[in-house]
Amino acid sequence: MTLANVFSKTIRDRWMGWAITAVSLTLFLLFGMSVYREIDLTIYTSLPEAFRSLVGIGDDIDVGGLAINVVFGTWGGLVVAAIALVMGASAIAGEERDGTMGILLSNPKSRTFVLLSKAGSLLMLVAVATVAVWATVHPIAAVLGVEIAGLDVEALSLHLFVNALFYGMLATAIGAMTGNRGMATGVTTAIMAVSFFAVGFLPLVEGGDGLLKFLPWYYFDGSDPATNGVAWGHIALLVSASVILLVASIIGFNRRDLKGQSVGTTMLDRVRGNPVLNRLIGRLAGSARVSSIWVKTMSDYQTLLLITSVVMFLMMGVMMGPMYASIPEETLTAFDQLPEQLIALFGGGDLSTPEGWYTFETFGFMAPVAVIVVTVVMGGGALAGEESRRTMSLLLACPISRNRIVIEKAVPMVLFAFAVGFATFAGVALGSLAAGLGMSVGNIAATAVLQSLIGLVFGSLALALSAATGRTSISIYGAIGAALFFHLFNSFGELNDGLADLGWLTPFSYYLGNEPLVNGMDWANAAVLAALSVVLIGLSFVLFERRDIRQQG
């Protein structure tokens, strides 16, 4: 039944990820509302306009508004768009990468039909997930006794749905036109991340407002749909853009050659294509790449590391210094008067100081996200990836133990976690120097070390899940889900005394808990994070050693 056609098969393959997303968002909403209900909201009334724009809080603030805007709006918007993006990138390019596109198209179905089926299933799943989350908002609010009558949740849901569809279609289009899933994911993520941050930042600087309309994310919540209702103009724009992308996908996909289960050609490959150079360089560079499992693993993930490190170094590091310097004096003065409790919410950063600014903009969110993405993808892919590609058989036919394979997969993850941390450190240090902010280099280094360690905790969790199950999706989604949960737990913990008592439970409290950018290294916190990682990696040995290797992906 569920395999009746491309449409239903795609839904069957993908529904689980969406179901997890919808359930998680619902839980976050429940969590958020019950926490916001407990706190004294008068602290928000004194906030300067500029600050509210930065954190996405509307003018008339109340419990319901906060929960809806922050959890449903910001978090929900990002997560649903990200899942749509992943699904879109895999739609066409993923089937090509897996080598299944050939057999799919050998059936009497046109490429256009396949593409429309994929786009249809994307539309369907985004819609169902949006409706599922929306449907729980009112009951949750009613049960908790939170007033949300003045809020247009339906309008926000519509914006969220159309916004996610746009990023899904953008990724689909790039994948359909190039057949390169990595490029589709990378480019779309970059556009999404840059526009998300720019929408928050631009209102702070003189003349920045004028640039907003060039950013796709602005059309999601720039009009504050929860307060002002549906901005039909914005919706129409996103829908038209999605339709244009769909048409571009169809044209692009129909015109090009299908890719085999192949891989891109790199510069190195071209050089090695030349027989004379090949003999010279092949042994030199090529052999180095495959000299051992851990070197090969590093080589496999070098692109991911490169992109993440460049983003952290340039955007989140170097650029943030001059950006801070460009914020008008009055705004900074306003930040200075923020209530204590609110400051705590953003990792203890006081926005009137450069340390607070970097904590809020770089280390509070993007830095852990970047390092966790790298470690979780590597940890989850480490063992489960070899199993789902069925290459584990040959690895295990070599005279090396299973423990050795775990070690050789864990080492690159550790190295890369510190590489991302180093890129962040270098960027922030340079940004501070360039803008003359005078931050302590030692403290920046300490914060970056803690950043690498928090990444390792969740990477090691992914590795342990990968060792236990041999399934990439469980490992990656499981670890990302845990990271999201603990991050939210940590943020809300700052606001709620009851939760604050349980703060020691979340790994994130050992990351920025002691304001390392201000106070320097907290060795006890570092030790906790390192010990957690060691325990999880140790668990991976045991779990992998006793398990049957999976035969299929």
Partner 1 sequence: MMSESGSEKSAIHTVGLTKYYGRHLGMEDVNLDVQKGEVFGFLGPNGAGKSTTIRTLLDEIRPTSGSATILGMDTHRDAVTIRRHIGYIPGDLALYPNLTGMDTLTFFGNMRGGVDWSYVDELADRLDSDLTRKVGDLSTGNRQKVGVIQAFMHRPDLLIMDEPTSGLDPLVQREFQKMVGEVSAEGRTVFLSSHTLSEVQRVADRVGIIRNGRLITVESVAELRSKATRQVEFVLDAEADVAAFEAVDGVRNVMVEGNHVEMSFGGDMGDLLTMATERYGIDDIKTSEADLEEIFLTYYHDGEEEMEVPG
- In the complex, the smallest distance separating the C-beta of residue 299 from partner 1, rounded to whole angstroms, is 9
Q: At 409, list the tokens.
A: 């997969």
**Which one of residues 56, 200, 203, 282 is an interface residue with partner 1 (CB under 8 A)?**
282
260 touches partner 1 by CB under 8 A:
yes
- In the complex, the smallest distance separating the C-beta of residue 266 from partner 1, rounded to whole angstroms, is 9
- In the complex, the smallest distance separating the C-beta of residue 18 from partner 1, rounded to whole angstroms, is 28
| DSSP structure string for 243-262 | HHHHHHHHHHHHHSPPP-S-
Cα–Cα dist 429/424, whole Å = 8
- In the complex, the smallest distance separating the C-beta of residue 139 from partner 1, rounded to whole angstroms, is 39
107 touches partner 1 by CB under 8 A:
no
Residues 392-451 that bind partner 1 (CB under 8 A): 392-401
Task: Please report, for residues 152, 378, 393, 442, 539, the alpha-carbon distance to residue 412 in angstroms, rounded to integers and kept in the order given.
Answer: 48, 8, 21, 25, 18
103 touches partner 1 by CB under 8 A:
no
Choice between 156 and 293, CB closer to partner 1: 293
Choice between 385 and 427, CB closer to partner 1: 385
Torsion of CA 130, 132, 134, 139, to 10 degrees: -170
Cα–Cα dist 522/451, whole Å = 12
Q: Contact region for partner 1 (CB under 8 A) — 104-112, 117-125, 272-280, 324-332?
A: 272-280
Centre a 10 Å sphere on the Cβ of residue 165 and count the other Cβ atoms it contains: 26
Closest to 221 measured CA to CA, from 360, 21, 32, 75: 75
Q: Contact region for partner 1 (CB under 8 A) — 65-73, 221-229, 283-291, 504-512?
A: 283-291
Cα–Cα dist 272/219, whole Å = 47
**Which one of residues 33, 173, 293, 526 is an interface residue with partner 1 (CB under 8 A)?**
293
**Which one of residues 142, 270, 289, 523 is an interface residue with partner 1 (CB under 8 A)?**
289
Q: Contact region for partner 1 (CB under 8 A) — 166-174, 292-300, 354-362, 442-450?
A: 292-300
The distance in angstroms from the start CA to the end CA of the chain is 22
**Which one of residues 107, 228, 261, 303 is an interface residue with partner 1 (CB under 8 A)?**
261
**Which one of residues 7, 296, 407, 542 is an interface residue with partner 1 (CB under 8 A)?**
296
Cα–Cα dist 182/199, whole Å = 26
Amino acid at 109: K
Choice between 109 and 546, CB closer to partner 1: 546
Choice between 70 and 92, CB closer to partner 1: 92
Interface pattern 355-394 for partner 1 (x via CB under 8 A): ----------------------------------xxxxxx
Q: At 515, list the tokens.
A: 């304001």
291 touches partner 1 by CB under 8 A:
yes
**Which one of residues 272, 365, 433, 542 is an interface residue with partner 1 (CB under 8 A)?**
272
Question: Binders of partner 1: how many residues, by CB under 8 A?
Answer: 36
Choice between 129 and 378, CB closer to partner 1: 378
138 SS3 class: helix
Cα–Cα dist 323/365, whole Å = 17
333 touches partner 1 by CB under 8 A:
no
Q: Are 360 and 350 in contact (CB under 8 A)?
A: no
Amino acid at 349: G
262 touches partner 1 by CB under 8 A:
yes
Choice between 412 and 507, CB closer to partner 1: 412
Amino acid at 207: G
Residues 489-548 that bind partner 1 (CB under 8 A): 546, 548
Q: Where are the alpha helices (DSSP H) in 179-301?
A: 181-201, 218-221, 225-228, 232-255, 267-273, 275-277, 287-289, 293-300
Q: Contact region for partner 1 (CB under 8 A) — 28-36, 195-203, 285-293, 429-437?
A: 285-293
> Exposure pattern of 518-537 as b/e (b: 16+ CB <10 Å)?
bebbbeebbebbbebbeebb
278 touches partner 1 by CB under 8 A:
yes
Cα–Cα dist 186/188, whole Å = 6
Choice between 99 and 150, CB closer to partner 1: 99
Task: Please report, for residues 7, 53, 243, 244, the alpha-carbon distance to residue 119 in angstroms, rounded to integers and kept in the order given.
Answer: 9, 34, 11, 13
- In the complex, the smallest distance separating the C-beta of residue 17 from partner 1, rounded to whole angstroms, is 25
- In the complex, the smallest distance separating the C-beta of residue 552 from partner 1, rounded to whole angstroms, is 9
Choice between 398 and 531, CB closer to partner 1: 398
Please report, as ranges, the residues that interact with partner 1 according to CB under 8 A.
260-263, 269, 272-273, 275, 278, 282, 286-287, 289-293, 296, 300, 389-401, 546, 548-549, 551
